Structure 1
């Protein structure tokens, strides 16, 4: 009798071929000890080679589904940053909501959303599942600008605030920085911690989906990005958000970050 939990791994993809190959390779290596993985990729690529890479994968893996989405919008990324606009954000939100609906209709136990520029540790989904949370992300670290320090993709409050304060509490700059550093250092220690916002590498339980989590815009909130609207909605629904820091993922935010993939795998004992 198969007692494994069914997990749908979902990802809207518009990605450069070299980064996409590393992403897909890490997905192929995911362990399935207590889970059974199926993959749903939304092909939104504007690079024909990237679409071909997805199609080739589907021919060799029986548990891969590809939904072709054609759009004419332009997404700019370079060695400095990624440039999003409102149209792109809510297009991605719509695609993610489609994946949520499929996970619900086909009775998956979990949905794992993963951005297509992430390289995972093979035990990631097993680790996230073992935490027993309704919504939990694995941490990864990014220099959002080339000269910035590495910061996590999770936060505590509002748009991207990494420290707690009482609503009427007035903090000077030094105290705010001290609390932020305390939070960042905590995330460097292996554990499971409650957060206020997360995204890009997230395991969502069926119970959370049934309660109504989704990425639809909350029209009276001006915060940027579909992940923030997802997190606010989850909190209103009474769903706590968590981050796991046992197996940090690696973010290929720029093509120059590709050179760090080997070091990531070496440091995790994935290659010798």
Structure 2
């Protein structure tokens, strides 16, 4: 988790309008000090929300590679969801603050996997820009591309009218995943590829 966005993230969680959810935050930092700070907030949150839990899991700095730590953390939460009979895993990364009714909106779609749309930073050798963390297939004239298709981020026009739309990929920063899917797929990545676990998770759905 990222300390610079913690307060805003926690305020966002406290404003979620869906009445029946528990909170699990996984922290992979090397020191337990950040997790202890979160536990203080969690205890206060539980007092204000009787019957609901807010747990903090300090998984520790298990690897020098960030992808290893992220995948380990997601699979810890996946195991909790499955072992404790939750219906869904709402994956919300700390730099995403969603609308108050986001859980209701995602549940209304009645999909096993459905994502909200959010921005991410994209770095190139020349500059840095923000793109939507979702993509679609687009035609290309490159003869070596399979089926002459490439993946590209969606544009602003794709978002209107407001609807549930099929995409080729999305991030795991604001996504609702059903138990049925989690029973079949674990979070992973492949070291020979630069992609993170979100892309490989979606490959597993196809």
**Shift of residue 152 of structure 1?**
0.7
Matched, 1:70 2:60: yes
**Shift of residue 51 of structure 1?**
3.1
* Contact persistence 1:21–1:53 (CA under 8 A): no
With over 3 angstroms needed to count, the CA separation of the structure-2 counterparts of 1:182 and 1:45, relative to structure 1, is closer
Task: Give structure 2 stretches of 5+ with no counterpart.
Answer: 47-52
Matched, 1:216 2:188: yes
With over 3 angstroms needed to count, the CA separation of the structure-2 counterparts of 1:68 and 1:182, relative to structure 1, is closer
Residue equivalent to 1:141:
119
Pick one of 184, 190, 194 that aligns with 2:162.
190
* Contact persistence 2:139–2:148 (CA under 8 A): no
* Contact persistence 1:20–1:50 (CA under 8 A): no
Distance in 1 (CA, whole Å) between partners of 2:21 and 2:182 is 18
**Shift of residue 150 of structure 1?**
3.2
Question: Cα deviations across residues 82-128 of structure 1 (Å, max 9, x unaligned)?
Answer: xxxxx210221121112111101111011011111111111111100
Task: Give structure 1 stretches of 5+ with no counterpart.
Answer: 1-12, 75-86, 158-162, 171-175, 236-272
Residue equivalent to 1:110:
88
Matched, 1:155 2:142: no
User: Number of matched residues?
Assistant: 193
- Root-mean-square deviation (Å): 2.9
* Contact persistence 2:134–2:153 (CA under 8 A): no
Distance in 1 (CA, whole Å) between partners of 2:10 and 2:30 is 18
**Shift of residue 39 of structure 1?**
0.7
Query: TM-score scaled by structure 2?
Result: 0.80
